[in-house]
Amino acid sequence: MTAFFSLLKRDLKLAFRQGSDSVMVIVFFIVVVVLFPLSIGPEQKILARISAGVIWVAALLAAMLSMDRLFAADYEDGSLDLLVISPHPTEILVLAKILAHWLTTGLPLIIVSPLLGVFLYLQADGFWVMIMSLLLGTPILSLIGAIGAALTLGARRSGVLISLLILPLFVPVLIFGVSAVDAALMGLPTRPQLLILGAFLLFAAALSPWASAAALRQAVE
Amino acid sequence: MSFTGNAITCIRSDRVVFQRLSFSVKDGEILYLKGPNGCGKSSLLRIMAGLLQPTEGVLYWNEENISKSVDSFLGDFQYIGHQNPVKGALSVKENLKIWAEIYNLKKNNISIDDALQAFKLDRLANLPARFLSAGQKRRLNLSRLSATDSRLWLLDEPSTSLDDAGSLCLKELISSHLERGNMVIMATHESNLVNGYTLNLAEFVFNE
Protein backbone atom coordinates (compact mmCIF):
# COMPACT_ATOMS: atom_id res chain seq x y z
CA MET A 1 0.00 0.00 0.00
CA THR A 2 2.93 2.32 0.73
CA ALA A 3 4.10 1.80 -2.83
CA PHE A 4 0.64 2.72 -4.16
CA PHE A 5 0.61 6.02 -2.30
CA SER A 6 4.29 6.75 -3.04
CA LEU A 7 3.68 6.39 -6.75
CA LEU A 8 0.42 8.36 -6.57
CA LYS A 9 2.20 11.15 -4.71
CA ARG A 10 5.07 11.14 -7.21
CA ASP A 11 2.75 11.41 -10.20
CA LEU A 12 0.74 14.20 -8.59
CA LYS A 13 3.95 16.05 -7.74
CA LEU A 14 5.18 15.67 -11.30
CA ALA A 15 1.86 16.92 -12.66
CA PHE A 16 1.83 19.96 -10.40
CA ARG A 17 5.45 20.91 -11.07
CA GLN A 18 5.26 20.43 -14.82
CA GLY A 19 1.71 21.72 -14.88
CA SER A 20 1.41 21.95 -18.61
CA ASP A 21 -0.56 18.73 -19.14
CA SER A 22 -3.44 19.57 -16.82
CA VAL A 23 -3.61 23.17 -17.98
CA MET A 24 -3.57 22.09 -21.63
CA VAL A 25 -6.44 19.66 -21.07
CA ILE A 26 -8.60 22.24 -19.34
CA VAL A 27 -7.91 24.97 -21.88
CA PHE A 28 -8.67 22.56 -24.73
CA PHE A 29 -11.93 21.60 -23.02
CA ILE A 30 -12.99 25.23 -22.63
CA VAL A 31 -11.97 26.22 -26.16
CA VAL A 32 -13.85 23.34 -27.79
CA VAL A 33 -17.02 24.13 -25.85
CA VAL A 34 -16.76 27.86 -26.60
CA LEU A 35 -16.47 27.12 -30.33
CA PHE A 36 -20.05 25.84 -30.39
CA PRO A 37 -21.89 29.08 -29.54
CA LEU A 38 -19.55 30.86 -31.97
CA SER A 39 -20.36 28.52 -34.84
CA ILE A 40 -24.02 27.75 -34.16
CA GLY A 41 -25.02 31.19 -32.94
CA PRO A 42 -26.18 32.43 -29.58
CA GLU A 43 -29.74 31.16 -29.79
CA GLN A 44 -30.68 30.04 -26.31
CA LYS A 45 -32.99 27.15 -27.23
CA ILE A 46 -30.58 25.35 -29.51
CA LEU A 47 -27.61 25.76 -27.17
CA ALA A 48 -29.59 24.58 -24.17
CA ARG A 49 -30.67 21.52 -26.18
CA ILE A 50 -27.13 20.49 -27.15
CA SER A 51 -25.30 21.65 -24.01
CA ALA A 52 -25.01 18.29 -22.25
CA GLY A 53 -23.88 16.51 -25.40
CA VAL A 54 -21.29 19.16 -26.25
CA ILE A 55 -19.81 19.19 -22.75
CA TRP A 56 -19.60 15.41 -22.69
CA VAL A 57 -17.98 15.11 -26.13
CA ALA A 58 -15.51 17.89 -25.31
CA ALA A 59 -14.63 16.23 -22.00
CA LEU A 60 -14.05 12.97 -23.84
CA LEU A 61 -11.75 14.56 -26.41
CA ALA A 62 -9.89 16.53 -23.74
CA ALA A 63 -9.31 13.34 -21.76
CA MET A 64 -7.93 11.65 -24.90
CA LEU A 65 -5.47 14.49 -25.33
CA SER A 66 -3.42 13.58 -22.29
CA MET A 67 -3.83 9.84 -22.57
CA ASP A 68 -0.70 9.04 -24.59
CA ARG A 69 1.56 10.55 -21.90
CA LEU A 70 0.18 8.30 -19.17
CA PHE A 71 2.96 5.69 -19.42
CA ALA A 72 5.14 7.24 -22.14
CA ALA A 73 7.44 9.26 -19.84
CA ASP A 74 8.08 6.26 -17.59
CA TYR A 75 8.65 4.10 -20.65
CA GLU A 76 11.21 6.48 -22.12
CA ASP A 77 13.37 6.92 -19.02
CA GLY A 78 13.30 3.27 -17.93
CA SER A 79 11.11 3.81 -14.86
CA LEU A 80 8.59 1.40 -16.31
CA ASP A 81 11.12 -1.47 -16.16
CA LEU A 82 11.53 -0.85 -12.46
CA LEU A 83 7.78 -0.66 -11.87
CA VAL A 84 7.17 -3.95 -13.68
CA ILE A 85 9.85 -5.85 -11.71
CA SER A 86 9.11 -4.23 -8.35
CA PRO A 87 8.06 -6.49 -5.47
CA HIS A 88 4.51 -5.12 -5.74
CA PRO A 89 1.82 -6.27 -8.18
CA THR A 90 2.07 -4.20 -11.36
CA GLU A 91 -1.74 -3.94 -11.31
CA ILE A 92 -1.68 -1.93 -8.07
CA LEU A 93 0.99 0.45 -9.40
CA VAL A 94 -0.97 0.88 -12.65
CA LEU A 95 -4.04 1.75 -10.62
CA ALA A 96 -2.03 4.42 -8.78
CA LYS A 97 -0.97 5.95 -12.08
CA ILE A 98 -4.55 5.87 -13.41
CA LEU A 99 -5.84 7.53 -10.25
CA ALA A 100 -3.18 10.22 -10.51
CA HIS A 101 -4.14 10.77 -14.15
CA TRP A 102 -7.80 11.17 -13.24
CA LEU A 103 -7.04 13.54 -10.36
CA THR A 104 -4.94 15.78 -12.63
CA THR A 105 -7.12 15.72 -15.77
CA GLY A 106 -10.61 14.29 -15.07
CA LEU A 107 -11.24 16.14 -11.84
CA PRO A 108 -10.32 19.62 -13.19
CA LEU A 109 -12.68 19.00 -16.12
CA ILE A 110 -15.51 18.33 -13.70
CA ILE A 111 -14.68 21.46 -11.75
CA VAL A 112 -14.89 23.76 -14.79
CA SER A 113 -17.88 21.98 -16.38
CA PRO A 114 -20.58 24.01 -14.49
CA LEU A 115 -19.02 27.21 -15.86
CA LEU A 116 -19.30 25.84 -19.38
CA GLY A 117 -22.85 24.78 -18.63
CA VAL A 118 -23.61 28.45 -17.99
CA PHE A 119 -22.05 29.37 -21.36
CA LEU A 120 -24.44 26.97 -23.08
CA TYR A 121 -27.59 27.89 -21.13
CA LEU A 122 -27.74 24.51 -19.44
CA GLN A 123 -30.79 24.63 -17.20
CA ALA A 124 -30.42 24.55 -13.45
CA ASP A 125 -32.00 21.08 -13.14
CA GLY A 126 -29.21 19.60 -15.22
CA PHE A 127 -26.17 20.85 -13.29
CA TRP A 128 -25.99 18.34 -10.49
CA VAL A 129 -26.77 15.42 -12.75
CA MET A 130 -24.12 16.54 -15.22
CA ILE A 131 -21.52 16.74 -12.45
CA MET A 132 -22.60 13.34 -11.14
CA SER A 133 -22.46 11.76 -14.58
CA LEU A 134 -19.01 13.24 -15.25
CA LEU A 135 -17.88 12.13 -11.80
CA LEU A 136 -18.81 8.56 -12.71
CA GLY A 137 -17.83 8.82 -16.36
CA THR A 138 -14.40 10.47 -16.42
CA PRO A 139 -12.71 7.78 -14.28
CA ILE A 140 -13.92 5.28 -16.88
CA LEU A 141 -12.15 7.34 -19.54
CA SER A 142 -8.89 7.20 -17.56
CA LEU A 143 -9.26 3.47 -16.85
CA ILE A 144 -10.06 2.38 -20.40
CA GLY A 145 -7.62 4.92 -21.82
CA ALA A 146 -4.84 3.34 -19.76
CA ILE A 147 -5.29 0.07 -21.67
CA GLY A 148 -4.92 1.94 -24.96
CA ALA A 149 -1.93 3.90 -23.66
CA ALA A 150 -0.21 0.70 -22.53
CA LEU A 151 -0.94 -1.10 -25.80
CA THR A 152 0.40 1.70 -27.99
CA LEU A 153 3.63 2.28 -26.03
CA GLY A 154 6.54 2.59 -28.40
CA ALA A 155 4.31 3.00 -31.44
CA ARG A 156 4.73 6.00 -33.72
CA ARG A 157 1.95 8.59 -33.47
CA SER A 158 0.55 6.74 -30.51
CA GLY A 159 -1.76 9.63 -29.63
CA VAL A 160 -3.86 9.15 -32.76
CA LEU A 161 -3.71 5.38 -32.44
CA ILE A 162 -5.05 5.50 -28.89
CA SER A 163 -7.98 7.64 -30.01
CA LEU A 164 -8.88 5.17 -32.74
CA LEU A 165 -8.60 2.24 -30.33
CA ILE A 166 -10.39 3.76 -27.39
CA LEU A 167 -13.01 6.22 -28.62
CA PRO A 168 -15.39 3.48 -29.87
CA LEU A 169 -15.27 1.94 -26.40
CA PHE A 170 -16.44 5.21 -24.88
CA VAL A 171 -19.68 5.28 -26.88
CA PRO A 172 -21.76 3.56 -24.16
CA VAL A 173 -20.37 5.92 -21.51
CA LEU A 174 -21.25 8.90 -23.70
CA ILE A 175 -24.78 7.65 -24.37
CA PHE A 176 -25.67 7.09 -20.73
CA GLY A 177 -23.84 10.19 -19.53
CA VAL A 178 -25.73 12.48 -21.88
CA SER A 179 -29.05 10.74 -21.46
CA ALA A 180 -28.83 11.15 -17.68
CA VAL A 181 -28.60 14.93 -18.10
CA ASP A 182 -31.40 14.92 -20.72
CA ALA A 183 -33.62 12.94 -18.37
CA ALA A 184 -33.00 15.47 -15.59
CA LEU A 185 -33.91 18.34 -17.90
CA MET A 186 -37.17 16.60 -18.81
CA GLY A 187 -37.94 15.93 -15.15
CA LEU A 188 -37.56 12.16 -15.48
CA PRO A 189 -35.69 9.96 -12.99
CA THR A 190 -31.92 9.88 -13.63
CA ARG A 191 -31.13 7.03 -11.30
CA PRO A 192 -31.08 4.24 -13.94
CA GLN A 193 -28.52 6.00 -16.15
CA LEU A 194 -26.31 6.88 -13.21
CA LEU A 195 -26.49 3.31 -11.92
CA ILE A 196 -25.47 1.96 -15.31
CA LEU A 197 -22.56 4.42 -15.41
CA GLY A 198 -21.60 3.20 -11.93
CA ALA A 199 -21.68 -0.37 -13.20
CA PHE A 200 -19.45 0.59 -16.14
CA LEU A 201 -17.05 2.21 -13.69
CA LEU A 202 -16.84 -0.88 -11.49
CA PHE A 203 -16.36 -3.09 -14.53
CA ALA A 204 -13.59 -0.87 -15.90
CA ALA A 205 -11.91 -0.61 -12.48
CA ALA A 206 -11.84 -4.39 -12.21
CA LEU A 207 -10.65 -5.03 -15.74
CA SER A 208 -8.36 -2.16 -16.67
CA PRO A 209 -5.46 -2.68 -14.20
CA TRP A 210 -5.09 -6.31 -15.33
CA ALA A 211 -5.24 -5.52 -19.02
CA SER A 212 -2.94 -2.50 -18.71
CA ALA A 213 -0.40 -4.38 -16.61
CA ALA A 214 -0.35 -7.24 -19.13
CA ALA A 215 0.19 -4.76 -21.97
CA LEU A 216 2.99 -3.04 -20.03
CA ARG A 217 4.78 -6.34 -19.47
CA GLN A 218 4.69 -6.85 -23.22
CA ALA A 219 5.90 -3.31 -23.83
CA VAL A 220 9.07 -3.66 -21.74
CA GLU A 221 10.16 -6.89 -23.45
CA MET B 1 21.58 -18.39 -1.46
CA SER B 2 22.29 -19.03 -5.10
CA PHE B 3 21.15 -17.77 -8.48
CA THR B 4 21.40 -20.24 -11.32
CA GLY B 5 20.45 -20.36 -14.96
CA ASN B 6 20.20 -23.59 -16.86
CA ALA B 7 20.48 -23.94 -20.66
CA ILE B 8 19.05 -20.52 -21.46
CA THR B 9 18.36 -19.68 -25.08
CA CYS B 10 17.37 -16.23 -26.24
CA ILE B 11 15.77 -15.60 -29.62
CA ARG B 12 14.95 -12.02 -30.58
CA SER B 13 13.03 -11.30 -33.77
CA ASP B 14 13.95 -14.67 -35.33
CA ARG B 15 17.65 -14.26 -34.54
CA VAL B 16 19.31 -16.57 -32.02
CA VAL B 17 21.27 -14.28 -29.72
CA PHE B 18 22.78 -17.03 -27.57
CA GLN B 19 21.88 -20.63 -26.88
CA ARG B 20 22.15 -23.17 -24.06
CA LEU B 21 23.89 -20.75 -21.73
CA SER B 22 24.24 -21.75 -18.08
CA PHE B 23 25.59 -19.81 -15.14
CA SER B 24 25.65 -19.93 -11.38
CA VAL B 25 26.35 -17.36 -8.69
CA LYS B 26 26.61 -18.04 -4.97
CA ASP B 27 26.93 -15.96 -1.82
CA GLY B 28 29.72 -13.44 -1.97
CA GLU B 29 30.43 -14.01 -5.64
CA ILE B 30 30.52 -11.66 -8.60
CA LEU B 31 29.99 -12.77 -12.19
CA TYR B 32 31.16 -10.60 -15.09
CA LEU B 33 29.37 -10.89 -18.42
CA LYS B 34 31.72 -10.13 -21.28
CA GLY B 35 31.66 -10.31 -25.02
CA PRO B 36 31.48 -8.10 -28.10
CA ASN B 37 28.58 -5.70 -28.80
CA GLY B 38 25.36 -7.45 -29.69
CA CYS B 39 26.28 -10.76 -28.10
CA GLY B 40 23.34 -10.55 -25.70
CA LYS B 41 24.74 -9.22 -22.42
CA SER B 42 21.85 -6.84 -21.93
CA SER B 43 19.31 -9.42 -23.10
CA LEU B 44 20.70 -11.91 -20.58
CA LEU B 45 20.47 -9.35 -17.77
CA ARG B 46 16.89 -8.50 -18.77
CA ILE B 47 16.07 -12.22 -18.75
CA MET B 48 17.60 -12.49 -15.27
CA ALA B 49 15.52 -9.53 -14.10
CA GLY B 50 12.34 -11.08 -15.50
CA LEU B 51 11.79 -8.29 -18.02
CA LEU B 52 12.30 -10.69 -20.90
CA GLN B 53 11.16 -14.29 -21.10
CA PRO B 54 13.85 -16.76 -22.19
CA THR B 55 12.86 -18.76 -25.25
CA GLU B 56 14.15 -21.85 -23.49
CA GLY B 57 15.79 -22.61 -20.18
CA VAL B 58 15.03 -22.11 -16.52
CA LEU B 59 16.26 -19.70 -13.85
CA TYR B 60 16.55 -20.78 -10.21
CA TRP B 61 16.66 -18.61 -7.10
CA ASN B 62 17.73 -20.75 -4.11
CA GLU B 63 17.02 -23.88 -6.14
CA GLU B 64 13.45 -22.74 -6.74
CA ASN B 65 12.20 -22.26 -10.27
CA ILE B 66 11.67 -18.51 -10.64
CA SER B 67 8.82 -18.81 -13.12
CA LYS B 68 6.90 -20.82 -10.51
CA SER B 69 7.70 -18.76 -7.40
CA VAL B 70 8.43 -15.31 -8.72
CA ASP B 71 7.29 -13.56 -5.53
CA SER B 72 10.26 -14.83 -3.53
CA PHE B 73 12.62 -13.43 -6.16
CA LEU B 74 11.02 -10.03 -6.78
CA GLY B 75 12.36 -7.51 -4.33
CA ASP B 76 15.45 -9.62 -3.69
CA PHE B 77 17.32 -8.07 -6.60
CA GLN B 78 18.06 -4.65 -8.08
CA TYR B 79 18.37 -4.07 -11.80
CA ILE B 80 20.37 -1.16 -13.22
CA GLY B 81 19.82 -0.87 -16.97
CA HIS B 82 21.13 1.47 -19.63
CA GLN B 83 18.64 4.18 -18.80
CA ASN B 84 18.55 6.28 -15.67
CA PRO B 85 15.00 6.46 -14.37
CA VAL B 86 15.39 10.01 -13.13
CA LYS B 87 12.57 12.59 -13.22
CA GLY B 88 13.83 16.08 -13.94
CA ALA B 89 11.02 17.78 -12.05
CA LEU B 90 11.78 15.96 -8.80
CA SER B 91 14.72 16.74 -6.57
CA VAL B 92 17.64 14.32 -6.31
CA LYS B 93 16.44 13.13 -2.92
CA GLU B 94 12.82 12.70 -4.06
CA ASN B 95 13.97 10.66 -7.03
CA LEU B 96 15.82 8.23 -4.80
CA LYS B 97 13.08 8.18 -2.17
CA ILE B 98 10.37 7.02 -4.56
CA TRP B 99 12.38 3.95 -5.58
CA ALA B 100 13.42 3.22 -2.02
CA GLU B 101 9.74 3.27 -1.04
CA ILE B 102 8.60 1.11 -3.93
CA TYR B 103 11.47 -1.31 -3.35
CA ASN B 104 10.98 -1.32 0.45
CA LEU B 105 13.49 0.82 2.24
CA LYS B 106 16.15 -1.13 4.07
CA LYS B 107 15.03 -2.60 7.35
CA ASN B 108 18.27 -1.82 9.15
CA ASN B 109 17.69 1.87 8.54
CA ILE B 110 20.28 2.99 6.08
CA SER B 111 18.82 6.35 5.26
CA ILE B 112 18.34 8.04 1.92
CA ASP B 113 20.97 10.61 2.92
CA ASP B 114 23.58 7.92 3.54
CA ALA B 115 22.78 6.35 0.17
CA LEU B 116 23.28 9.70 -1.54
CA GLN B 117 26.49 10.23 0.38
CA ALA B 118 27.86 6.92 -0.94
CA PHE B 119 27.98 8.56 -4.36
CA LYS B 120 28.83 12.07 -3.13
CA LEU B 121 25.41 13.40 -4.07
CA ASP B 122 24.50 14.63 -0.59
CA ARG B 123 25.23 18.25 -1.41
CA LEU B 124 22.91 18.10 -4.42
CA ALA B 125 20.05 16.47 -2.49
CA ASN B 126 17.58 19.31 -2.98
CA LEU B 127 18.53 20.22 -6.52
CA PRO B 128 15.96 19.39 -9.23
CA ALA B 129 17.34 16.39 -11.09
CA ARG B 130 17.07 18.08 -14.51
CA PHE B 131 20.23 20.05 -13.62
CA LEU B 132 22.28 16.90 -13.19
CA SER B 133 24.90 15.85 -15.71
CA ALA B 134 24.81 12.40 -17.31
CA GLY B 135 27.39 11.12 -14.83
CA GLN B 136 25.50 12.55 -11.86
CA LYS B 137 22.26 10.96 -13.09
CA ARG B 138 24.14 7.68 -13.26
CA ARG B 139 25.34 8.15 -9.69
CA LEU B 140 21.77 8.87 -8.61
CA ASN B 141 20.56 5.71 -10.33
CA LEU B 142 23.34 3.66 -8.70
CA SER B 143 22.61 5.09 -5.26
CA ARG B 144 19.39 3.03 -5.40
CA LEU B 145 21.64 0.02 -4.73
CA SER B 146 22.60 1.23 -1.27
CA ALA B 147 19.15 2.56 -0.43
CA THR B 148 17.53 -0.85 -0.78
CA ASP B 149 18.18 -4.21 0.79
CA SER B 150 18.63 -6.60 -2.13
CA ARG B 151 20.72 -9.76 -2.19
CA LEU B 152 21.44 -9.72 -5.91
CA TRP B 153 22.50 -6.81 -8.10
CA LEU B 154 22.10 -7.02 -11.86
CA LEU B 155 24.21 -4.25 -13.36
CA ASP B 156 24.30 -3.43 -17.07
CA GLU B 157 27.52 -1.51 -17.70
CA PRO B 158 27.13 0.44 -14.46
CA SER B 159 30.24 2.59 -14.90
CA THR B 160 28.94 4.21 -18.11
CA SER B 161 29.61 7.98 -17.97
CA LEU B 162 31.06 7.73 -14.44
CA ASP B 163 34.31 9.56 -13.72
CA ASP B 164 37.21 7.93 -11.87
CA ALA B 165 35.88 9.00 -8.48
CA GLY B 166 32.47 7.61 -9.35
CA SER B 167 33.94 4.29 -10.45
CA LEU B 168 35.82 4.14 -7.18
CA CYS B 169 32.58 4.68 -5.24
CA LEU B 170 30.98 1.90 -7.27
CA LYS B 171 33.91 -0.41 -6.60
CA GLU B 172 33.74 0.20 -2.86
CA LEU B 173 30.00 -0.36 -2.90
CA ILE B 174 30.34 -3.66 -4.76
CA SER B 175 33.16 -4.85 -2.49
CA SER B 176 31.19 -4.22 0.68
CA HIS B 177 28.09 -5.80 -0.90
CA LEU B 178 30.08 -8.95 -1.64
CA GLU B 179 31.68 -8.94 1.81
CA ARG B 180 28.22 -9.05 3.34
CA GLY B 181 27.72 -12.31 1.42
CA ASN B 182 25.59 -10.95 -1.42
CA MET B 183 25.77 -11.46 -5.17
CA VAL B 184 26.52 -9.29 -8.19
CA ILE B 185 26.14 -9.99 -11.90
CA MET B 186 27.56 -7.28 -14.07
CA ALA B 187 27.98 -6.71 -17.80
CA THR B 188 31.08 -4.70 -18.55
CA HIS B 189 33.72 -4.01 -21.17
CA GLU B 190 36.25 -2.71 -18.71
CA SER B 191 38.73 -4.61 -16.56
CA ASN B 192 37.25 -6.28 -13.52
CA LEU B 193 36.57 -4.03 -10.53
CA VAL B 194 37.04 -6.84 -8.01
CA ASN B 195 38.04 -10.46 -8.45
CA GLY B 196 35.36 -12.74 -9.79
CA TYR B 197 34.22 -15.17 -12.42
CA THR B 198 33.81 -14.23 -16.06
CA LEU B 199 31.20 -15.54 -18.46
CA ASN B 200 32.10 -14.91 -22.08
CA LEU B 201 28.89 -14.77 -24.07
CA ALA B 202 30.73 -15.06 -27.36
CA GLU B 203 31.06 -18.79 -26.62
CA PHE B 204 27.32 -19.28 -26.76
CA VAL B 205 26.67 -17.56 -30.05
CA PHE B 206 24.63 -19.71 -32.41
CA ASN B 207 26.72 -21.42 -35.09
CA GLU B 208 25.03 -23.11 -37.99
Q: Reduced to 3 states, what is the DSSP secondary structure of residue B148?
A: strand
Count chain A–chain B contacts defined by CB atoms under 8 A. 70
Q: A7 contacts in B (CB within 8 Å)?
A: 98, 102
pLDDT, tens digit (0-9, with 9 covering 90-100), for A158-195: 888 898 999 999 999 999 999 999 999 888 999 999 99
CATH number attached to the domain at B1-76+151-208: 3.40.50.300
Is residue A21 pLDDT above 70, yes or no?
yes
pLDDT, tens digit (0-9, with 9 covering 90-100), for B19-28: 899 999 999 9
Nearest chain B residue to A217 by CA: give it.
B51
| Model confidence band, residue B106 (pLDDT cutoffs 50, 70, 90) | low
Whole domain around residue A112: which residue ranges? 2-220
Least confident of A139-143, A192-196, B108-112: B108-112
| Model confidence band, residue B105 (pLDDT cutoffs 50, 70, 90) | low
Q: What is the pLDDT of residue B112?
A: 84
Distance CA B54, CA A79 (A): 22
Long-range contacts for A113-117 (Cβ within 8 Å, ≥24 apart)? A113/A55, A113/A59, A116/A29, A116/A30, A116/A33, A116/A34, A116/A55, A116/A58, A117/A51, A117/A55
* Paired residues of A221 in beta bridges: none
Cβ-proximal residues to A132 (8 Å cutoff; 6+ apart), any chain: A180, A190, A194
Q: Reduced to 3 states, what is the DSSP secondary structure of residue B20?
A: strand
Q: Give me the number of domains chain A comprises.
A: 1
Is residue B208 pLDDT above 70, yes or no?
no
Q: What is the pLDDT of residue B150?
A: 87
Q: B13 contacts in A (CB within 8 Å)?
A: none
| Cβ contact, residue pair A220, B51, below 8 Å | yes
Nearest chain A residue to B88 by CA: give it.
A14
Closest CA of chain B from A165, distance in Å: 26
When the pLDDT of each residue in chain B is averaged and rounded to a whole number, the result is 88
Q: B98 contacts in A (CB within 8 Å)?
A: 6-7, 10
Interface predicted TM-score (ipTM): 0.90
When the pLDDT of each residue in chain A is averaged and rounded to a whole number, the result is 92
Nearest chain A residue to B97 by CA: give it.
A6
What percent of chain B has a predicted confidence (pLDDT) above 90?
52
pTM of the model: 0.92
Q: A221 contacts in B (CB within 8 Å)?
A: 51-53
Least confident of A85-94, B37-46, B68-77: B68-77
Domain locations along chain B = 1-76+151-208, 87-150
Cβ-proximal residues to B186 (8 Å cutoff; 6+ apart), any chain: B30, B31, B32, B33, B153, B154, B155, B156, B158, B174, B193
Distance CA B122, CA A187 (A): 64
Q: What is the pLDDT of residue B108?
A: 54
Q: What is the pLDDT of residue B109?
A: 61
Is residue B207 pLDDT above 70, yes or no?
no
What percent of chain B has a predicted confidence (pLDDT) above 70?
96
